């Protein structure tokens, strides 16, 4: 069981320099023009050539080709429909690989740890990890569901001695469900970190096809160094990164990520509190509304849904997912994630009142 589930969107990483989805392609283009990605400039150029080719196809539609999520989705659909003029199926496959390179390198170049100051700003992932640690110290459980490719949350958890658990492999049930000795007990130092769209630090083995996390990445002095490809125990090479588009067309990814998505559904179905941070519920992501709705319908005692996002329209979109009973538990905070007041509110609501001192809404 997970008493508290945190859901992180792109806004949760904004304070660390990573652009929002609507800004991502412009930032990538600026990196290319400023010669900051010279070793992969051909990959960046291939992506922008592909986008310009799409403009003629979608000139009569409302597809947002300035948004990285829309472009990722368009390339994936084009692979199925052979819908980009002048591109073969093999060409579109290479285009998608170039897009993944662009995403990875843009995050690598822009990620920086925020400056902590007395003006009200904090390192948000470190503060979140502290809240998670405090909750688990009180014999309650937590889980993190994230749409972000970056490893910021697991980096912060590891720095506090907590162990991110990805659930890339299905957990086997006990042979005898009545045997209490075989019932799995959550290690208080382990925190499920369920990355629904993959990660820059995961790769897919070309031999066995499994998704494998790497441990050879670093964030040092605010700089992210991604892991290299490496050899899996089966002998195959693990191709980094492994990332998934934000679309309902995820069937080709189901076989390898189904255990992650299943665990996300499980922790949501057991949650007493859900805290959504920096997630705007974009229209392009038609998968998560189903996951959330079908999972939370099983919750017997939902105490609260905290929505932390300065975007009021995003809050209204999320409220439309909720039934009347859940909507009454919905509380929105308009503070950005990196504000100290955000974490005062989180602690005030999620930690027992008698153990929370001098905190006010």
> According to the 3-state scheme, what is the secondary structure of 192-213?
EEEECCEECCEEEECCCCCEEE
Contact present, 315 and 278 (Cβ < 8 Å): no
Per-residue pLDDT of 43-66, as tens digits, reads 999 999 999 888 776 666 677 888
Number of C-alpha atoms within 13 angstroms, CB side, residue 227? 23
Cα distance between residue 276 and residue 145, in whole Å: 9
CA angle 36, 218, 150 (to 5 degrees): 70
SS3 8: strand
CA angle 81, 69, 83 (to 5 degrees): 15
Summarised one tens digit per residue, pLDDT across range 90-106 is 899 999 999 999 999 99
Are 331 and 114 a contacting pair, CB within 8 Å? Answer: no
Class of domain 4-17+115-197+244-355: alpha beta
* Residue with the larger pLDDT of the pair 219 and 294: 219
Q: How open is the CA angle 106-109-112, to the nearest 5 degrees? A: 120
The pLDDT of residue 77 is 82
DSSP-derived pairing of the beta strands 330-333 and 242-243? unpaired
At 256-315, the pLDDT tens digits run 888 999 999 999 988 999 999 999 888 777 778 888 877 877 666 788 899 999 888 988
- CA distance linking residue 187 with residue 103, whole number of Å: 34
Q: What is the mean pLDDT of the chain?
A: 84
Give ranges for CATH 3.40.50.1220 in the chain.
Answer: 4-17+115-197+244-355
Q: Nearest 5°: CA angle at 198, between 194 and 204?
A: 120
What separation, in Å, do the N-terminal and C-terminal C-alpha atoms of the chain show?
A: 28
pLDDT at 171 (0 to 100): 62
Q: How confident is the model at residue 181 (pLDDT cuts 50, 70, 90)?
A: very low
Higher pLDDT, 212 or 81: 212
Instruction: Extract the runs of DSSP E, i.e. beta strands, from 45-189.
Output: 142-146, 163-165
Number of Cβ within a 10 Å radius of residue 106: 24
* Residue 5, pLDDT above cutoff 90: yes
């Amino acid at each position: 069981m997970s008493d508290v589930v945190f859901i992180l969107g792109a806004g949760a990483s904004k304070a660390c320099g990573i652009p929002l989805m609507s800004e991502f392609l412009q930032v990538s283009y600026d990196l290319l023009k400023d010669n900051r990605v010279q070793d992969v400039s051909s990959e960046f150029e291939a992506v922008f050539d592909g986008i310009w080719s799409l403009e003629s196809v979608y000139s009569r539609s409302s597809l947002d080709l300035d948004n990285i999520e829309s472009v990722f989705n368009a390339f994936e659909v084009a692979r199925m429909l052979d819908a980009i003029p002048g591109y073969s199926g093999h060409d579109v496959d290479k285009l998608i690989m170039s897009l993944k390179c662009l995403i990875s390198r843009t995050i690598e170049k822009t990620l920086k740890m925020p400056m902590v100051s007395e003006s009200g700003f904090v390192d948000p992932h470190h503060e979140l990890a502290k809240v998670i640690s405090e909750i688990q110290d009180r014999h309650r459980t937590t889980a993190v569901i994230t749409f972000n490719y970056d490893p910021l949350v697991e980096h912060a958890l590891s720095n506090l001695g907590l162990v991110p658990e990805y659930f890339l492999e299905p957990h086997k049930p006990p042979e005898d469900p009545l045997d209490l000795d075989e019932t799995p007990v959550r290690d208080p130092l382990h925190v499920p970190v369920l990355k629904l769209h993959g990660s820059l630090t995961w790769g897919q083995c070309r031999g066995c096809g499994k998704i494998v996390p790497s441990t050879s990445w670093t964030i040092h002095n605010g700089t992210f160094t991604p892991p290299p490809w490496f050899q899996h125990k089966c002998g195959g090479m693990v191709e980094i990164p492994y990332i998934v588009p934000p679309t309902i067309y995820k069937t080709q990814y189901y076989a390898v990520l189904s255990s992650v998505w299943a665990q996300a559904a499980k922790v949501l179905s057991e949650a007493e509190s859900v805290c959504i941070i920096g997630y705007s519920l974009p229209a392009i992501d038609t998968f998560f509304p189903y996951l959330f709705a079908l999972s939370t319908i099983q919750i017997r005692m939902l105490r609260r849904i905290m929505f932390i996002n300065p975007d009021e329209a995003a809050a209204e979109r999320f409220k439309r997912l909720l039934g009347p009973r859940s909507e009454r538990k919905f509380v929105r905070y308009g503070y950005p994630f990196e504000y100290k007041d955000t974490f005062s509110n989180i602690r005030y609501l999620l930690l027992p009142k008698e153990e929370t001192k001098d905190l006010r809404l």
